[in-house]
Amino acid sequence: MIHPVDLATAPALVLRGQRFDAGRPAVMAIVNRTRDSFFVTAGADGLEPALDALASAVDAGADIVDVGGVRAGQQGEWVDVPTEVARVRPFLEAARERFPDLVLSLDTWRSEVLDACRDVGIDLVNDTWAGADADLVAGAAELGAGYVVSHTGGLPPRTDPVDVSYGPDPDDVVRSVLAGLRDGAARAVAAGIRPEAVLIDPTLDFGKTTRHSLRVLRATASIASLGYPVLQAISRKDFVGETLDLPARERLEGSLAATAVAAWLGATVFRTHDVGATRRVLDMVASIRGDRPPTVAVRGEPGGGA
């Protein structure tokens, strides 16, 4: 096949017997079980509203659901381990019962939280703080779960970036991301995570300025070339808001534009608040790339449409 440019294709992600690749990119729906998240959704209002939101996300095309009980940044309330467990475990239990085939992801940096939820059928551990708890990857391996390798520039959990610099060259941040993800993936495999269950995340906004995040997003093809499926968590983030000077509630179009670019450049999984719109964007990009056939193709065919 002739392509206008060389297109990067990362290896497939395989979780719960399901394969996600360039022809079937995965939508990861966000369920935040905390009211102080930067973009509060129905999941924060109680268990039943969270499950209703989950059902809507599945209907809209979600392949994975990622549940977290703590705001990522330092501006939110302090949450201890028992409180975090109380927020996420009942949801995970109910989600597994209602959707037996759905890929469930736990968003935590604490091995104690994973231990408290180990019997509910977790398929993926989303460690957004780059191994701050060294026991977390081993816990994921013991469960046979996948593991997200992230890049935060060395910042500890819940630290907002201030006066961040990776060096004078604009590409220094990309070099840091590539090295960090390569090393983190190697550690995950050494800990016992299956290579096809290692998901690498450049972790835009975390430990990065808006210019850093834009530069790293442009380098998605290089990240995909590391040999692991790539997660892009773009949805309504600050780098989108600062680029367009918009509050979180008005960042959908910017998020979808960035999603389309990252998908074209080889990312496989997309964490999002806006499942239906993201599903349509990813399917369209996959078809333009030539990795996915159109759902319907009758225009101009014999007996087809005009």
**In terms of DSSP H, where are the helices of the chain?**
47-59, 81-98, 111-116, 135-143, 172-191, 210-218, 220-224, 238-244, 252-264, 275-289
pLDDT over 80 at 76, yes or no: no
Is 174 part of a structural domain of the chain? yes
Dihedral angle over CA of 287, 210, 84, 271, nearest 10? 0
Is 130 part of a structural domain of the chain? yes
The predicted model gives 80-104 an average pLDDT of 96
| 41-52: pLDDT as tens digits | 655 668 898 999
In contact, 151 and 133? CB cutoff 8 Å: no
Domain count, the chain: 1
pLDDT over 90 at 253, yes or no: yes
Is 303 part of a structural domain of the chain? no
In contact, 300 and 43? CB cutoff 8 Å: no
How does residue 4 score in pLDDT terms, banded at 50, 70 and 90?
low
Is 296 part of a structural domain of the chain? no
The pLDDT score that the predictor gives to residue 33 is 86
| 136-164: pLDDT as tens digits | 999 999 999 999 999 999 888 988 888 89
Q: What is the mean pLDDT of the chain?
A: 93
In whole angstroms, how far apart are CA 217 and each of 68, 127, 239, 255, 303?
24, 20, 11, 12, 44
The predicted model gives 201-215 an average pLDDT of 97
| 267-299: pLDDT as tens digits | 999 999 999 999 999 999 999 999 999 999 999
The pLDDT score that the predictor gives to residue 3 is 56
In contact, 43 and 35? CB cutoff 8 Å: no
Whole-number Å distance between alpha carbons of 272 and 263: 13
Is 298 part of a structural domain of the chain? no
Half-sphere exposure in the Cβ direction for 129 (13 Å, CA): 23
- Indicate the range of 19-28, 29-38, 212-221 predicted with least confidence: 29-38
What is the DSSP code string of 112-164? HHHHHTTTS---EEE-TTTTSSTHHHHHHHHHT-EEEEE--TTPPTT----S-
The pLDDT score that the predictor gives to residue 75 is 72
Give me the percent of the chain exceeding a pLDDT of 90.
81
Is 79 part of a structural domain of the chain? yes
CATH number where 191 lies: 3.20.20.20
Which residue range(s) make up the domain with 264? Answer: 13-289
From first CA to last CA, the distance across the chain in angstroms is 27
Give the burial string for 101-116 (b: 16+ CB within 10 Å, else e). Answer: ebbbbbbbbbbbbbbb
The predicted model gives 225-233 an average pLDDT of 97
| 50-73: pLDDT as tens digits | 999 999 999 999 999 999 999 887
Is 6 part of a structural domain of the chain? no
Whole-number Å distance between alpha carbons of 155 and 166: 13
Tokens found for residue 202: 């450049």
Neighbouring CB atoms inside 10 A of 81's CB total 16
Is 299 part of a structural domain of the chain? no
